[in-house]
């Protein structure tokens, strides 16, 4: 149980285009989902916390207009990278917390490459 999936697993896009990444909790309901970014050989850095039915809370330095987060249901959160640039190339990982639970379950990540 407690499986989190991400789609796509990898995506390559041209500079200036927008990319949407999906995060799904497959066998549980997640009131809270988290989005992380990980650059090569670096740690995970939290970008934003996504709560179902409300606006996401962004970490300092993360542009909310560039990284649009939508958590419209208890099993799905989406991250849209708008007008992507090469410096946005990174490994994006989501996690989901069960309602009333403590542990965050991580997805397998999405590797974004912007040409």
Partner 1 sequence: GQQLNQSPQSMFIQEGEDVSMNCTSSSIFNTWLWYKQDPGEGPVLLIALYKAGELTSNGRLTAQFGITRKDSFLNISASIPSDVGIYFCAGQLILGNEKLTFGTGTRLTIIP
* Nearest residue (CB) to partner 1, 48 versus 84: 48
Query: What's the burial of 43, exposed, middle or buried (CB within 10 Å: 0-12/13-18/19+)?
Result: exposed
What residues from 27 to 66 belong to the interface with partner 1 (CB under 8 A)? 32, 34, 42-46, 49, 59-61
* Nearest residue (CB) to partner 1, 19 versus 33: 33
**Beta-bridge partners for 55:** none
How many Cα neighbours within 13 Å face the side chain of 4? 26
Minimum CB separation of residue 84 from partner 1 in Å reads 20
Binding site for partner 1 (CB under 8 A): 4, 6, 32, 34, 42-46, 49, 59-61, 91, 93, 95, 97, 101-109, 111
């Amino acid at each position: 149980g407690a499986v989190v999936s991400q789609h796509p697993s990898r995506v390559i896009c041209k500079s200036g285009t927008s990319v949407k990444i999906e995060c799904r909790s497959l066998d549980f309901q997640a009131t809270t989902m988290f989005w992380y970014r990980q650059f090569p050989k670096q740690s995970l850095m939290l970008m934003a916390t996504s709560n179902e039915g409300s606006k996401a809370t962004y970490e300092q330095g993360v542009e909310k207009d560039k990284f649009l987060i939508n958590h419209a249901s208890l099993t799905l959160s989406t991250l849209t990278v708008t007008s992507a640039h090469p410096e946005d190339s990174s490994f994006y990982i989501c996690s989901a917390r069960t309602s009333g639970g403590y542990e965050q379950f991580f997805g397998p990540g999405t590797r974004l490459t912007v040409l």
